[in-house]
Amino acid sequence: MSYLKDKTVIITGSSRGLGKNTAIEFAKQGANVIINYNSNEKEANDVVDKINNNGGNAIAIKANVGNSREINHLFDTTITHFGKVDIIINNAGIMIIKPLKDFSEEEFDQQFNTNVKSVFLMMKIAAEKLEDNGRIINISSSTSKLAMPAYSIYSATKSAVEQMTRIFAKEIGHRGITVNSVLPGPMNTELFLKGKSDELIDKIASLSAFNRIGNVEDIIPLILFLAKDDAQWVTGQNIGINGGMA
């Protein structure tokens, strides 16, 4: 099945983790894929090579998605190369975990700039440059539903993304564009695993109905569905996918 054939998708932060694996799956479904990165050039090029060597169509574009000038470059380069942008997946994000009292102002600003401002700017520019009947899929987190110690600022950034999702969906729906966010639970990715002990990971895993941490393969089918024409009536939704954790 190639239900995304000839669609062009920008996936921010797609040189590794969930973004990387999502890019590979979208390419398998026939989409032209933009691997966006800010600093991981080698990893981004490796993803492009993997996709193209398997018959897909991908290019890598460097852009800091916390900067409107660079986001315009991302869109314009994509349009020059593929002619249009049909789907945006706002995946770029960082996670700083510590008690609120221990956060510096710089860390607060860094997390909001990457996790919230980037989504705001991508959607703002998409309002002009995304094709009619396009798709915007924001990657949030199930931590927004959980009162987990040390996650206060990260959870706040994801709650902000979810509110923007709900409201922007109504603002842009007249063009047939859907806007949704996906809320994964903990996943076996570098972003989640970094700095956590096996004991802590096991404790978090026990919160799910299946007593395990999720994998990227558990999340991607929902993202693919939201990109399909069949999902036209789904918009303004914040959809949890976390093994019953929240």
Q: Compute φ and ψ for 61, nearest 5 degrees.
A: -130, 125
* b (16+ CB within 10 A) / e for 191-218: ebeeeeeeeebeebbebbeeebbbebeb
Q: Residue 154 catalytic?
A: yes
* Residue 24: both structure tokens together: 């590979």
Tokens 């949704």 correspond to what residue?
Answer: 180
Taking each helix axis from N to C terminus, what angle separates 118-129 and 68-82, rounded to the nearest 10 degrees?
40
Burial class (CB in 10 A: 0-12, 13-18, 19+), 190: exposed
Burial class (CB in 10 A: 0-12, 13-18, 19+), 154: buried
Closest CA to 73 of 120, 23, 116, 36: 36
Which segments of the chain does DSSP mark as H helices, in order?
17-28, 41-53, 68-82, 105-112, 118-129, 152-172, 190-193, 198-205, 216-227
Question: Which among 3, 37, 151, 154 is annotated as catalytic?
Answer: 154
Question: Mind telling me the catalytic residues?
Answer: 154
